[in-house]
Structure 1
Amino acid sequence: MSGPGTAAGAAGRAGQSDALEHLARVGLIAYGMVHVLVAWLALQLAWGGGSSESADQSGALATLAESPVGKPLLWVLAVGLVALALWQAAEVVRWRSGWSASGDTRKKAVEKTVKAVAKAVVYAALAVLAFRAATGGGQSGSGQQQQTTAGVLGWPGGRWLVAAAGLVVIGVGAHHVLKGLKKGFLEEIDLASAPPTAERTVTRLGQVGYPAKGVAFAVVGALLVYAALTFDPARASGLDGAMRTILDAPFGRVLLTLVALGIAAFGAFCFVRARYPERT
Structure 2
Amino acid sequence: MNASATARTGRIKARRAARGSGVEYAARAGLTARGVIYLLVGVLALRIAFGDGKKQADRNGAVAEIAQQPFGAVLLWALAVGLVGMALWRLSEACFGSAGPDGRAAKKRLLSAVRFVFYAFVAYSVLSFAAGSGSGGKGSSDQQSRDVTAKVLDLPAGQWIVGAAGVGIVVAGLLIGGRAVLRKYHKKLKLGQMSARTRRLVDVTGVGGGAARGLVFAAAGCFAVRAAIDYEPDRAKGLDDTIRSFAHTPAGPWLLVCVAAGLVLFGLFSFAMARWRRI
Q: Determine if the TM-score, normalized by the shorter chain, exceeds 0.5.
A: yes
Q: SS of the counterpart of 1:17?
A: helix
| Runs of at least 5 residues in structure 1 that lack an aligned partner in the other structure | 1-8, 97-104
Number of the residue aligned with 1:73 = 75
Instruction: Give the total of aligned pairs.
Output: 262
1:88-167 aligned at under 5 Å gives the runs 88-95=90-97, 109-134=105-130, 135=132, 136-137=134-135, 138=137, 139-167=139-167
What amino acid does structure 1 have at the position aligned with 2:50?
A: W
Paired with 2:250 and 2:16, the residues of 1 have a C-alpha distance of 52
Of 75, 84, 95, the residue aligned with 1:82 is 84
Residue 258 (structure 1) shift: 0.5
Deviates more, 1:181-190 or 1:211-220: 181-190
Number of the residue aligned with 1:33 = 36
Note if contact 1:176-1:214 (Cα within 8 Å) is conserved in structure 2. yes
Deviates more, 1:25-34 or 1:107-116: 107-116
Residue 114 (structure 1) shift: 3.2
| Runs of at least 5 residues in structure 2 that lack an aligned partner in the other structure | 1-11
Q: Is 1:22 matched with 2:25?
A: yes
* Compared CA separation, residues 123 and 195, structure 1 to 2 (3 A): farther
Number of the residue aligned with 2:206 = 206
The TM-score normalised by the length of structure 1 is 0.86
1:179-198 aligned at under 5 Å gives the runs 179-198=179-198
Residue 106 (structure 1) shift: 7.3
The TM-score normalised by the length of structure 2 is 0.86
Deviates more, 1:250-259 or 1:138-147: 138-147
Number of the residue aligned with 1:54 = 56
Deviates more, 1:77-86 or 1:188-197: 188-197
Residue 229 (structure 1) shift: 1.2
* Compared CA separation, residues 71 and 201, structure 1 to 2 (3 A): same
Cα deviations by residue, 1:165-222 (Å, 9 ceiling, x for unpaired): 1111101100111111110112232223333332222122111111110000011101
Number of the residue aligned with 1:99 = none
Paired with 2:197 and 2:103, the residues of 1 have a C-alpha distance of 34
Residue 107 (structure 1) shift: 10
Note if contact 1:227-1:235 (Cα within 8 Å) is conserved in structure 2. yes
Deviates more, 1:114-123 or 1:149-158: 114-123
Note if contact 2:23-2:92 (Cα within 8 Å) is conserved in structure 1. no
Note if contact 1:173-1:214 (Cα within 8 Å) is conserved in structure 2. yes
Paired with 1:21 and 1:239, the residues of 2 have a C-alpha distance of 29
* Compared CA separation, residues 71 and 219, structure 1 to 2 (3 A): same
1:190-269 aligned at under 5 Å gives the runs 190-269=190-269
Q: Which runs of 4+ in 1 moved over 4 A?
A: 105-108
